Amino acid sequence: MARYVKRIDHIALVVTDIDKALEFWQDALGLDLSHMEDVPSEKSMVAFLPAQESEVELVQPTSEDSGVARFLNKRGPGMHHICFEVYDIEETMEHLKAKGMHLINEEPEIGTGGKKIAFIHPESTHGVLVELYELSEKEPEIRRDRARELAERVITEGQTVANAAMEFLRGLTGNGNKGKQN
Ligand code: ZN
């Protein structure tokens, strides 16, 4: 068992057009799209496609003056970074520093849900930006809430569609319960 790294959490890919990219990742390769969101703070649109315990993240810049846009202009579409979940981020960073590796973050940054992240400079990794990530204790809870929220939204939308279909069928058969309040 690896001492520092638990698994690959995600691989982030920069694309010029998320919808176009989904024609490969979703339609052709058959990964599920779990969700897509606009991240104004990063001036980008992101899409998440889980593959078992890891995820592919597609990132499309939404403004020319973002880090992702600069990356895209300089290097073209492709891999932006690979993220490893680690057991203990501080311990991993100390170890890497002792090995003379160039860390972009001196201390872990606290991300959404209290998770800790840090980046290793590509000059130490032979050309790949590497992200380290340690799960916070609160995160499984936050993820559960989010999954529940998404599920509820899907059910509500499904219900709306079902109701509309019923209305339509009632209209066809002239069997609507128009007098009834509901
Ligand atoms: Zn990342």
> pLDDT grade, residue 161 (50/70/90)?
low
Q: How many domains does the chain have?
A: 2
**C-alpha separations of 159 from 33, 49, 74, 113, 119 in Å:** 21, 25, 47, 31, 44
Question: What is the longest distance spanned by two Cα atoms in the chain?
Answer: 78
My answer on whether 53 and 129 are in the same domain is: yes
Residue 108 CB contacts under 8 Å (≥ 6 apart), including other chains:
89, 90, 93, 116, 117, 118, 132, 134
Measured in angstroms, how far is the CA atom of residue 10 from the centroid of ligand 1?
7
Measured in angstroms, how far is the CA atom of residue 73 from the centroid of ligand 1?
19
My answer on whether 150 and 130 are in the same domain is: no
My answer on whether 169 and 124 are in the same domain is: no
- pLDDT score of 170: 72
Residue 45: domain span: 5-136
> pLDDT grade, residue 115 (50/70/90)?
confident
What are the DSSP calls for the chain, one per residue? --SSEEEEEEEEEE-S-HHHHHIIIIIIT-----EEEEEGGGTEEEEEEEETTEEEEEEEESSTTSHHHHHHHHH-SEEEEEEEEES-HHHHHHHHHHTT--BS-SSPEE-GGG-EEEEE-HHHHTS-EEEEEE--TTHHHHHHHHHHHHHHHHHHHHHHHHHHHHHHHHHHHT---TTS--
pLDDT tens readout for residues 37-83: 998 988 999 999 999 999 999 999 999 999 899 999 999 999 999 99
> pLDDT grade, residue 172 (50/70/90)?
low
Measured in angstroms, how far is the CA atom of residue 80 from the centroid of ligand 1?
9
CATH number, residue 41: 3.10.180.10
Domain assignment present for 59: yes
Give the tokens for residue 106: 């001196």
pLDDT tens readout for residues 10-22: 999 999 999 999 9
Measured in angstroms, how far is the CA atom of residue 38 from the centroid of ligand 1?
15
Compare 1 and 19 and report the one with higher pLDDT: 19
Measured in angstroms, how far is the CA atom of residue 173 from the centroid of ligand 1?
54
Measured in angstroms, how far is the CA atom of residue 119 from the centroid of ligand 1?
9
My answer on whether 37 and 103 are in the same domain is: yes
